[in-house]
Amino acid sequence: MRQRGLRRAEHAEQVDLDRLAQLCRGKRLERSVHADAGVDHREAQPAGPGDTGVDRGAQRGGVAHVGDERRGPPAGGLDRPSGRGKLVAAARDERDPAAAPTELDRDGPADPGRRPGDQAADRVDDQFHGAIVPLRYTPPVLRIGPLSIAPPLVLAPMAGITDRDFRLLIRRLGGCGLVSMEFISCEGLLRRRPGTLKLLHFVDEERPLAIQIYGSDPDRMAEAARTVEAMGADVCDINMGCPANKVLKGCAGAALTGDLPLARRIVAAARAAIRIPLTVKFRLGLREDRMTYLELGRICQDEGADAVTLHARTAAQQFGGRAEWLHITLLKQLLSIPVIGNGDVRSPENAADLLQQTGCDAVMIGRASLTNPWIFRQAAALLDGRPSEPPTMAERHKLMRDHFEEVVRREDERGALHKLRSFTGWYTHGLPEGRQLRRQLSELATPQAVLDAIDAFFAGRAAA
């Protein structure tokens, strides 16, 4: 059940990514034709909350573009920061598959059973594997515009999961520098759809808070960014990484890694619309043979984004395979704005490894926080050189009880029952007799019955 919940998208029918790229480019050209003809092809929309009709771009007085000069990797290779070794591999021009191999590719004949980049990733693993975090290591402070995020650990936006209750739970456990709301459709936000508005509730205790939006129309995305700012978010984040079919078919999310001109227009429009920090999250590209992350990173920097997050997988991988951290290293070497690394952070040690191996500015953690909500606290302790003990059974019981009482208080009975069953599956993962509890909960009909069964489960473990 847990695997189905975490990886449902992996088993859905896969979108034809080549056809998708052509379709999205066609839609972009159609929008351009309408704009040139002076035709507004969108429906009239009600104003979003906080819309004052003021031209926020004019208030900003223009965009302060970061890194007007486009910088590529130095000809001699990429030097890793702080003397932590040297990667002699220059970033291969991803648009030219016939480009000369890098030194990391010259280790002998390729193993036909391995994916491209595995040799490079293994070299990085071998070079930096060892003591997880020496006491002399000082983790960076993530600075996103005027915000200082410490520790440099970020809760990823996850649909159906990172609601107000889960964000508060993570914040109260400690160790998380920035929490992210579930990603929000710009059309749902601007049309004020009830289901979307329900997701937008937050409290000051969660700050700093990022709200992530997705869409494919630059003007609508700019308006959604203004709404996010008016709501009081600390950071506005643009989703260019979601591989879900329903998002890809709308030419949004990871589809934008295949349409860089449209991605540029979206970032530029959002940046001109708001004053709060703007960030962009994206993947390596649509597929391994169509990686665009370096160019997209330069676009985000040139158009004024304050930071970027790279999930080191392609859209075709969804959440399968392995995240190739080497690409986070290359992006960090290329850009001057902060780079947040994401992908395959399953433990506190992984978070420390990702910071050290890639030189990135922060780590974003997603699915691992479902089975171990204490991962941020544990990783923060590890970065400080302090020991971090695993949670006790009593702590697990308290966390579940506190979280579930909030869910029952805020959700209708059907919604609460679904969430309680889902989170129980994650929270009890790996516990003795956890499967038996999950099987029992699937047969219960009310949230209160679920709470009673959880209390009885932990009472039995305490008496044992």
> Cβ neighbours of residue 304 under 8 Å, at least 6 residues apart?
63, 64, 65, 66, 267, 268, 271, 278
- Backbone φ, ψ for residue 399 (5° rounding): -60, -50
Catalytic residue (choose from 242, 251, 300, 360):
242
CB distance 66 to 302 below 8 Å: yes
β-strand 235-240 against 184-185: which pairing, if any? unpaired
CB distance 388 to 348 below 8 Å: yes
Per-residue CA distances from 223 to 31, 272, 358, 380, 446 (Å): 17, 10, 35, 36, 41
Closest CA to 155 of 211, 202, 196: 211
> Cβ neighbours of residue 397 under 8 Å, at least 6 residues apart?
454, 455, 458
DSSP 8-class letter at 303:
T
- Backbone φ, ψ for residue 280 (5° rounding): -135, 135
Please give the distance of CA 436 from its chain centroid, rounded to a whole number.
Answer: 33
Please give the distance of CA 433 from its chain centroid, rounded to a whole number.
Answer: 32
Q: Can you read off the two tokens belonging to residue 173? A: 């456990």
CB distance 311 to 343 below 8 Å: yes
Per-residue CA distances from 421 to 188, 434, 437 (Å): 27, 12, 10
CB distance 188 to 195 below 8 Å: yes
- Backbone φ, ψ for residue 116 (5° rounding): -55, 135
Compute and round to an integer the Cα radius of gyration of the chain: 23
> Cβ neighbours of residue 176 under 8 Å, at least 6 residues apart?
151, 153, 154, 155, 170, 376
Reduced to 3 states, what is the DSSP secondary structure of residue 264?
helix
Whether residue 242 lies in the annotated active site: yes
Give the Cα separation of 453 and 464 in Å (integer). Answer: 17
Catalytic positions are 242
